[in-house]
Amino acid sequence: MKKGTRGEAAIRVEAPPGDVYALVSDVTRMGEWSPETTSADWVDGATGPEVGARFKGRNRHGLARWSTTPRVVAADPGREFAFTTTWLGKDNTRWTYRFEPDGSGTRVTESFEMLVDVPWYFTTSERWLMKVKDRKADLEAAMAETLERLKVAVEGSPST
């Protein structure tokens, strides 16, 4: 993917924005909803979501296994939670969750933005180890699955 590539998914959840934010920003629970992130833990003394806090995320897709140590760049309870992943000391991808009141519930939008061009060796590993030809579409599908699982965790049943 090229720098500037974006993708997003959204869902309506029957809960107040602050409650949904509290679940999403507790990165230690991300393995419950994400089909790719298996677990995450706060690191470097961080204990929760605040700008500058870091966490280690462990990921799996096909044969590929990797970890990242993202940095929180937005922590606005009930409104926005965002973090950037890095590679070789540079911000690589920005992941954002936005929470908007929607009647008695919340519209949750998860998005990503590539901050740099993806190196050829990442693209090659995506195709061979992950068996993914279109990573943008793959990430969008994974975000939709993440949000659906989050909705089930909040409401107790899948969307119809």
The answer on pLDDT for 100 being more than 80 is yes
Give mean pLDDT, residues 16-31. 97
Yes or no: is domain 6-155 CATH 3.30.530.20? yes
CA 140 to chain centre: 10
Dihedral sign (CA 95, 59, 150, 28): negative
Q: 């979501």: which residue's tokens?
A: 49
Which residues, 6 or more positions from 144, have their beta carbon under 8 angstroms from its beta carbon? 9, 11
Say whether pLDDT at 160 is over 60. no
Q: What is the pLDDT of residue 123?
A: 73
User: Residue 47's pLDDT is what?
Assistant: 95
Give the mean model confidence (pLDDT) for residues 27-56. 96
Question: Is pLDDT above 90 for 158?
Answer: no
pLDDT recorded at residue 6: 97
pTM above 0.85, yes or no: yes
CB atoms within 10 A of CB 16: 15
Q: Which residue has the higher pLDDT, 121 or 148?
A: 148
85/126: higher pLDDT:
85
Q: Please, what is the angle between helix 135-155 and helix 17-24, to 10°? A: 120
Q: What is the pLDDT of residue 34?
A: 96
Among 157, 145, 154, 148, smallest CA distance to 23 is for 154
